[in-house]
Structure 1
């Protein structure tokens, strides 16, 4: 079964194969591919490789959005297609535009920038109707800190949904996101 939909997975390049977070990303890729989704990631190592590997081993189509900034680093071997971009900003724009939804696993500052840009574009309705799912308990303290130290309101916070497992992430993809309140004025 192919849904015709592409899911971007954001995550760390620093996961080794023995890590429980690597195995979680692998399982996520596997589950997404089994459900018929195309899996899109940054295309390199760590969580990106894990989700790619899981999807590919489940027979899925796997796209890596790579970047000339990282040359000569090769993409991971589980990709079925590569989109090469000239800059990190172009890479992120490509990932956001190509995907029908987003799932973030635990990562670093790059993952955080991917999540916050997607979140901001959901708030302004530039990515209206696309789910943003944060996989794992590590995201709750991040969300709590943002609520405590920014002007993040409940309707905007609700655009990002935290789930516990890859199976929960798949289920969350099927539930339309709650629309935000009126768009901000600037």
Structure 2
């Protein structure tokens, strides 16, 4: 049996103030289903997390959620997923999601989304994996972060090569195309337990 391409999505447990963010989450979920992919995400039924999961499920995609026991009530674990794994810690959550991923994508979100993005990006810099990582910059949400990351390059703390490993786009389908193309060129999982 051929393994299904799995996209790990990081995003907010809130909807945010701009309706474009929810629209983008819905578009990502639909694209996952249309492409015959599988979604792995944080397991919640709220905010952008719930929207992307529902859109993927509505399209017939397999959706795997991973949620810490302590967040089952706060983020309301999604009852309709293909699989919902309840783990004890945030570290276990992130590791379980990463172990299943062929590519990573961050949508708009808060500090949790940023932490997940930067951790998996750091893992790539350190050589723990070489899967593609994307940042969906909906409505300019991440403009100042992107500018700051260029500042870290200009200041000599981050290499231009590392900066360029983050694929940035504002259109869901085109960004997913780029991530899939990169993954097909030989991205691979490694032992995340070393982190």
Smaller-chain TM-score bracket: 0.7 to 0.9
Contact 2:68/2:93, CA 8 A, preserved across alignment = yes
- Alignment match, 2:133: 132
Cα deviation, residue 17, structure 1: 10
Q: Are 1:79 and 2:85 an aligned pair?
A: no
Cα distance in 2 for residues equivalent to 1:81 and 1:49: 14
Cα distance in 2 for residues equivalent to 1:58 and 1:77: 17
The Cα offsets for residues 46-76 of structure 1, whole Å up to 9 and x where unpaired, read as: 1111110110011110111111121434312
Q: TM (normalized to structure 1)?
A: 0.87
Cα deviation, residue 34, structure 1: 1.0
Cα deviation, residue 18, structure 1: 8.3
- Alignment match, 1:182: none
User: What are the within-5 Å matches in structure 2 for residues 1-186 of structure 1?
Assistant: 4-15=4-15, 19-44=19-44, 45-73=46-74, 74-128=76-130, 130-136=131-137, 137-149=140-152, 151-176=157-182
CA 99–35 in structure 1, closer or farther in 2 if over 3 Å, else same: same
- Alignment match, 1:184: none
Contact 1:33/1:56, CA 8 A, preserved across alignment = yes
Cα distance in 2 for residues equivalent to 1:54 and 1:18: 18
Structure 2: give runs of 5+ residues left out of the alignment: 187-195
Cα distance in 1 for residues equivalent to 2:80 and 2:16: 16
Cα deviation, residue 3, structure 1: 6.2
Q: Say which SS state the counterpart of residue 82 (structure 1) adopts.
A: strand
Cα deviation, residue 161, structure 1: 0.7
Larger deviation: 6-15 or 147-156? 147-156
Q: CA RMSD in A?
A: 2.2
Q: TM (normalized to structure 2)?
A: 0.83
Give the helix-richer structure, 1 or 2: 2
CA 161–16 in structure 1, closer or farther in 2 if over 3 Å, else same: closer
Aligned length: 177
Cα distance in 2 for residues equivalent to 1:68 and 1:77: 14
